[in-house]
Structure 1
Amino acid sequence: MGIIIKDLTKKYGDQLALNKVSFSIDQGEVVGLLGPNGAGKSTLMKSITNAINPDSGEILVNNSSVRENPIETKKQIGFLQENNPLYMEMFVKEYLQFVMNIHGLKKERVEEVIKMVGLTPERHKKIHQLSKGYKQRVGLAQSILSNPEILILDEPTNGLDPNQILEIRDLIREISKDKTIILSTHIMQEVEALCSRVILLNKGEIVADQPIEEFKGQYKSLEEAFQALTK
């Protein structure tokens, strides 16, 4: 159970975004997906969620093929995109009810998730009225609303101030207790705080895949490992 990727390849015209990428993530693992801009991280995450179709290769989510069973596998995944697309003119609770209706969930789940992510004081505000930190909470709320087994989080603390970063990080840590998580971020402290393993992409290929403790044994820091492996 978990995620299995086999020989995943994707091209955009002449640009090779992913080149026969293979790895597996066990159920309950929290994995940091690292790499410089243009390394193929977003293409990989969108392929797992079936937002885009790879040219070749196979993706299994809990032993089910993403290509052959797209609806079944999507139901098992929550996705927070980097730009956190939200309907800004909707009220917080209204938006989450909208997402709930898409998933066919019971309305009680909305109240449960609002409380879980600390949105109770803001629940009757329009999303455009929220601070960026609270907007990220709304994005996280929609990603966990269906209680998915797998969470894919793309730059969840991007643009937040230090206090907001710590709040969102604590929230992710709480959520991760019973989920498989892929966390893509450029903040190395975030990876060290939340992840047990790192997959490092560069130019569409995996250049490292190992537990964080092994990185620490080979390099002074994750920053040094990142620089050495992605020059």
Structure 2
Amino acid sequence: MTHLFSLPLFWAALTIAAFLAGQQLYRRTGNNAFIPPILTGVVLVVSCLELSGVSYQTYMQGGHYLNLMLGPVVVMLAVPLYQFIHTMRKQWLRIALAVTLGSGTTIACAVLLAHFWIGDDAITRTIYTKSITTPVALAISEQVGGISALASAFVIITGILGALMIPPLLKTLRMDEPQTLGLTLGICAHAIGTSRALELGPQQSAYAAMAMTLTATLHALVLPWIV
């Protein structure tokens, strides 16, 4: 068993199995937003690591393979985006303002709260990356002096809360048009929000993919320079 736990492919396979189990639970509960597949998968993997006593470094020898796949998966979001690219071209100014102001506001609020409530410089620098998709967040967190492992946790928490809260909040405010909903999910909840948008409709998913991609690009260019 000890030899099995030291195999990188074992942990990669276990991570995939945990996510698939979370996906089945999500579907059987009627796509309950409180238990997204990624949350269930994280809980299962963390529980296995705790019970087995395996370190994060050992796990990441296998998790690294999955981490490498995140980039190509993000690129695949170009497929739903292409379907509405002609409409988006006419709205380029609105989209640019939404991405710039929206992402800037979410980061500023989080950083200020972390600075005054927590007061830890490393955590404050890490939380800059909370609204960016995981592969970009990990790269930027290292550049700005943050903690990579903690960055991925902030990204997941932000995505889950965003996917959970944004649709009902915009519906309450009567601002739940497909374009607005998609942009908000992409800006504030990155890949998890885009996954939620895929369930809501093709227009929502296209705008979410656009917003997530532009937000990640903007942060990759601007955040290291600002920090």
TM-score (norm 2): 0.30
RCO comparison, higher one (Cα < 8 Å, 6+): 1
Between structures 1 and 2, the one with greater strand share: 1
Between structures 1 and 2, the one with greater helix share: 2
TM-score (norm 1): 0.29
